[in-house]
Structure 1
Amino acid sequence: MAHSNCIPSERFLDATSEPQRRLSPIHGYELKPLVSLEEAVRPFETLIPNIQAYVWTATGNCEQPKDGLTLDESAAVYLYTMECMYRQLNSALRSEDRQQLVPYFSYLKLFLTALWKLNDVQDLVFRGVKANISDDYPKGKRFAWWGLSSTTTSLDVLQTPTFLGESGPRTLFNIQCFNGKMIQNHSQFSKESEVLLLPCSYFEVMGNMKQGADLRIIHLKQIEPPVVLIQPPFPSIVHPEESTSNEKIIMTSSNLIERQAIGRSGEIGSLYDIRTDQFVMGNLFNDVLPDSFIRRHDNFSASYWVDFHNSQKETFDNLNIEANLKLALMTELLKVEESAKYLKQTKANSHTVRTTFIYNAKTKREDLQISIEGLHEYFSSHAFENPDVTHVVIGIIWGVNVAATFERIVEKHDDVKRTEDALKAAFANPAFSISGNADLESLKISFSGDILIENCPGTIDGVIQVCQNVPSMLKSLNDGKGQPLTYILCSLKQIAERTKIKQNITRMVKEVSKQIVDRIENIFEQINDEQRKLNDFLDEMNSWKEFLDQEWFDLVKQKLSDFNKEELKLKRELSSLLVDIRSNLVKESKMIELIDNFSKHPCSSQSIGKFFEENENIKAKIQTLKK
């Protein structure tokens, strides 16, 4: 293929062209028959001058298409990357007048069929705007980008002068996508690692931060939209007996599950039970796979954030923990490994400064090529026969997490806020000096994560230096890959269907709905708050120990002990229910019933409030002593 090398920066920087209003969902194009590219562009020949000449160029450069695409499908992608096409198509996709899209229906059918066939990119990608538009993206906002969004896996590319640059007002989008499409093999610009986000992709703003004087960084997470915003060009899964040359079996993001590693070791082919969120002994394969069976590519990116451990929910959100993995962690169905202990460090009282600086570096990605011929010859029959296996690892995102936790006990709540504000300033500007700042100099520092830090630094500057050295430290860890950060899981049943293996896999798997996960998360937030109140009360009593009756201390300590026992009992009950619901043995209504009755639970705010009311005499005595 003969390709140009200078990709236009415009389409990586056009987020301001996205409408702020909700548009009508896109449908109708999927009913069109698949036709040649030459025929697909005829309805808009009058809209784009010389379009047939561009088609001639595209088809001539796609005579040996890759990734299982037909010549016309590959050429449709190539045509989109030509300047004449992407402007016009995106203008129509972003228009409130859906009639403007109708002339493009046949092309859209061919183009999106090609994109749907490409493997999903589940990774951190970037795009930007040469302006400060951070006010349009407050944390928690959910929205759609209606057009096709060009992104890159390389932050360095985006920071070059021809793209976003390194000065002036800028907004950088860090996007955790789950079904981006790497179009490099079919692009006019084959040297660029361009990942295309599909039309009507839907996102949630996870964070919005200022970096220096002119740069705003907005963290986006791609999520499923509340309604179908664009119909797929054909069904996501087509069984072998129904498949045609243009409609092969497609493994889309909705068929796959992501689980963060959180310190757990696995490899391509590792067996997994999604009902218990545990790895199962054994592997799908009985021999080492040829290198050609696994697609490997570099995807280095680095990011960091600061967690003040005021809320477990906030910690999980910052780390993009998936909803059902959250549930397994909250109920302690899944135990946190020592390397990921920063996940479970929510403050137990109001006099603790506990702040964790978390540095995340991604290095490489590996994906099993499920559709490759001969894969089934390596299958182990044990994997399909084992009733404990529901899923298999078919992808791994590699890298490291390094967490430095700063901790100190202070006397007053004001001291906590002052120290946290000083830490915010220090991390916002690594050149910030802590010399002479007693609040920061007295902090205890500990490390956890995927790399052993032999000489733990005692200052913030030292922590920053350690993180800057992580890329060089990675070189000696698993051939530069680091440790598994995220596993991509595919159900055993889908693998059997995809590879035409005759296996009757009947294991029932059902995920708990997000609404229930959110309610349980709120319950554990309430439990943490009430535990903090009890601990604060005991701390306040200790300040007046010589003036208070010992039986009062015994009473509060017993309440704390009972509180912790009841919390553990609740976790065990929820974790047992979770496994049964996922195994389709009981209905979600059982868990809903437990949640609905939480106000009567010994750990509820109502119960702790009643305890304080019954022991108001202790508080009254302390108030008298203060006077």
Structure 2
Amino acid sequence: MAHSNCIPSERFLDATSEPQRRLSPIHGYELKPLVSLEEAVRPFETLIPNIQAYVWTATGNCEQPKDGLTLDESAAVYLYTMECMYRQLNSALRSEDRQQLVPYFSYLKLFLTALWKLNDVQDLVFRGVKANISDDYPKGKRFAWWGLSSTTTSLDVLQTPTFLGESGPRTLFNIQCFNGKMIQNHSQFSKESEVLLLPCSYFEVMGNMKQGADLRIIHLKQIEPPVVLIQPPFPSIVHPEESTSNEKIIMTSSNLIERQAIGRSGEIGSLYDIRTDQFVMGNLFNDVLPDSFIRRHDNFSASYWVDFHNSQKETFDNLNIEANLKLALMTELLKVEESAKYLKQTKANSHTVRTTFIYNAKTKREDLQISIEGLHEYFSSHAFENPDVTHVVIGIIWGVNVAATFERIVEKHDDVKRTEDALKAAFANPAFSISGNADLESLKISFSGDILIENCPGTIDGVMQVCQNVPSMLKSLNDGKGQPLTYILYSLKQIAERTKIKQNITRMVKEVSKQIVDRIENIFEQINDEQRKLNDFLDEMNSWKEFLDQEWFDLVKQKLSDFNKEELKLKRELSSLLVDIRSNLVKESKMIELIDNFSKHPCSSQSIGKFFEENENIKAKIQTLKKN
């Protein structure tokens, strides 16, 4: 194929063209028959001059299509990457008048059939805007991008002057996608790692942060929309005996589950129980798989974020922890490994400065090719017979997380804010000097994560230098891959069905609803706040220790001890309920009942408020001592 090399930056920078209003879902195109590209473009020949000439160019450059696409399908993708096509098509996709899309229906049928047949890209990708549009994307907002969105896996590409550059008002989108499509093999610009997000892709804003004077970084996570916004061009799963030349077995994103590794070791074929969020001993395969069954590709990207540990919710959101994994972590059904201890470092009192700089580098991705004939010959029968197994690892995203935690205990709450502001300034400008800044020079620094840091630096500059050296340190970890960051899980039952294994797998699996996860998250936020109040109260008492009765100290210490025991008891009760709900042994209503009655729990704000009211005499004594 002869391809051009200079991709137009406009495709990666057109987020401002997306309508802010909700549009009508897209349907009707899927009813069109599959036709040749030449025939598919005829309905809009008057809209795009010389379109047949562009079709001639596209088909001529796609005579040996890759990825199992037909010539017309590959050429349909190629045509989209030509300037004549993508601007017009996206204008129609983003129009409130859905009639404008009708002339493109036959082309959409061919084009989206091609995209649906490409493997899903589940990775961090980037796009941007040469403007500050951060106000349009507040944290928590959910929205659709109605057009096709061009993204790149390379942050370096976006930072070049042709694209975002490094100065002036800019907005960078970091997007965790689950069904992007790598179109490099079918593009006019074959040297660019362009990942195309499908029309009507739906997102949630996970974070919105200022980086320096002119740059805004918005973290997006692709999620399933509440309703079907665009019909697929053909059924999502096609069984082998029903497949045609234009259809192949593919897995939809809804069949796949992502679980972050958080220090846990696994491999392709590792067995997993989604009900307990634990790995199960053993492997799907009884022998080493030939390389032909595993697709490997480079997946390098690097990013960082800063966590001030004001709340566990904030920490989980910053790290994009998936809702049901979040629940397993909060209830301690899943214990945090030492390498991921930064997940559980919420401040215990109001006089602690604790800030973690987390550097994330992704290196490679591995995916099991389930549809390849002969895979079942390597299966272990024990995996299908084990009642503890619900899922199998069929994909791994490799890389490293390196976390540097800065900590200091201060006397006044104002000192906390001043130190955190100084840290924000230092992280926003890595060249920022800490010399002479007492707030920063006295910070204790510790490291955790996937790489052992033997000589812990004592300055922010030193931490930044360590992060810059991470790519070279990676070379000694698993042949340069690093450590598993994310596991892609697929149902054991569906594997059996797809490969015609005659095994009756009846394990019931039910995920807890997001509404319940959010309510439990709010409960643990409340628990952390009340624990902090008790610790602050005890710290304040210690400042006047020689003037206060010892029995008062014994009372507050006992309350803290009882508080911690009740919290642990609640976690055990919730984790047990979680497993039972996921196993379909009890209904969600049991957990809802517990949540509804939390105001009566010893760890609730109501209970702790009552404790402070009953012991108002201690506070009154301290206030008197302060006045004297």
Q: TM-score, normalised on structure 2?
A: 0.98
Counterparts of 1:591 and 1:471 in 2: how far apart (Å)? Answer: 45
Maintained 8 Å contact 2:527/2:604: yes
Maintained 8 Å contact 1:173/1:219: yes
Higher mean Cα deviation, 194-203 or 32-41?
Answer: 32-41
Maintained 8 Å contact 1:124/1:175: yes
Q: Deviations over 1:553-594 (max 9, x none)?
A: 111111111111111011001101111111111111111111
CA-CA distance at 1:522 after TM superposition: 0.3
Maintained 8 Å contact 1:361/1:400: yes
Maintained 8 Å contact 1:352/1:408: yes
Counterparts of 2:200 and 2:626 in 1: how far apart (Å)? Answer: 61
Gaps of 5+ in 2: none
Higher mean Cα deviation, 104-113 or 164-173?
Answer: 164-173
Maintained 8 Å contact 1:29/1:108: yes
Q: How does 1:475-554 map to 2 (within 5 A)?
A: 475-554=475-554
State the identity %: 100
Higher mean Cα deviation, 176-185 or 162-171?
Answer: 162-171
Higher mean Cα deviation, 204-213 or 541-550?
Answer: 204-213
Counterparts of 2:606 and 2:558 in 1: how far apart (Å)? Answer: 18
1:625 paired to 2:625: yes
Higher mean Cα deviation, 183-192 or 397-406?
Answer: 183-192
Counterparts of 1:111 and 1:495 in 2: how far apart (Å)? Answer: 29
1:150 paired to 2:156: no
Maintained 8 Å contact 1:262/1:336: yes
Maintained 8 Å contact 1:240/1:500: no
Q: Alpha carbon RMSD of aligned pairs, Å?
A: 1.4
CA-CA distance at 1:241 after TM superposition: 4.1
CA-CA distance at 1:60 after TM superposition: 2.7
Q: Deviations over 1:433-459 (max 9, x none)?
A: 111211111111111100000011111
CA-CA distance at 1:481 after TM superposition: 0.9
Q: TM-score, normalised on structure 1?
A: 0.98
What secondary structure sits across from 2:551 in the alignment?
helix
Counterparts of 1:490 and 1:417 in 2: how far apart (Å)? Answer: 45
CA-CA distance at 1:378 after TM superposition: 1.3
Higher mean Cα deviation, 519-528 or 492-501?
Answer: 492-501
CA-CA distance at 1:409 after TM superposition: 1.2
What residue in structure 2 maps to residue 325 of structure 1?
325
Q: Deviations over 1:26-71 (max 9, x none)?
A: 1111122222222222211221222222222222322332222222
What secondary structure sits across from 1:475 in the alignment?
helix
Higher mean Cα deviation, 170-179 or 442-451?
Answer: 170-179
CA-CA distance at 1:502 after TM superposition: 2.5
Counterparts of 2:187 and 2:496 in 1: how far apart (Å)? Answer: 33
Gaps of 5+ in 1: none
Maintained 8 Å contact 1:240/1:497: no
Maintained 8 Å contact 1:239/1:497: no
Higher mean Cα deviation, 408-417 or 27-36?
Answer: 27-36
Higher mean Cα deviation, 278-287 or 520-529?
Answer: 278-287
Higher mean Cα deviation, 147-156 or 212-221?
Answer: 212-221
Maintained 8 Å contact 1:272/1:391: yes
Maintained 8 Å contact 2:207/2:317: no
Q: Deviations over 1:255-313 (max 9, x none)?
A: 10000000000111111111110111111111111222211111211111111111000
What secondary structure sits across from 1:404 in the alignment?
strand
Higher mean Cα deviation, 229-238 or 80-89?
Answer: 229-238
Q: 1:180 to 1:64 in 2, by over 3 A?
A: same
Higher mean Cα deviation, 46-55 or 459-468?
Answer: 46-55
CA-CA distance at 1:395 after TM superposition: 0.8
What secondary structure sits across from 1:343 in the alignment?
helix
Q: Deviations over 1:471-510 (max 9, x none)?
A: 1111111111111111111111122222232222211111
Counterparts of 2:376 and 2:189 in 1: how far apart (Å)? Answer: 35
CA-CA distance at 1:215 after TM superposition: 2.5
Counterparts of 1:470 and 1:260 in 2: how far apart (Å)? Answer: 20
Counterparts of 2:50 and 2:461 in 1: how far apart (Å)? Answer: 59
CA-CA distance at 1:129 after TM superposition: 1.6
Maintained 8 Å contact 1:131/1:169: yes
Q: Deviations over 1:356-412 (max 9, x none)?
A: 111111111111111122211211111111111111111111111111111111111
Q: Deviations over 1:311-369 (max 9, x none)?
A: 00000000000000000000000000000000000011111111111111111111111
CA-CA distance at 1:98 after TM superposition: 0.4
Maintained 8 Å contact 2:349/2:532: yes
What secondary structure sits across from 1:302 in the alignment?
strand
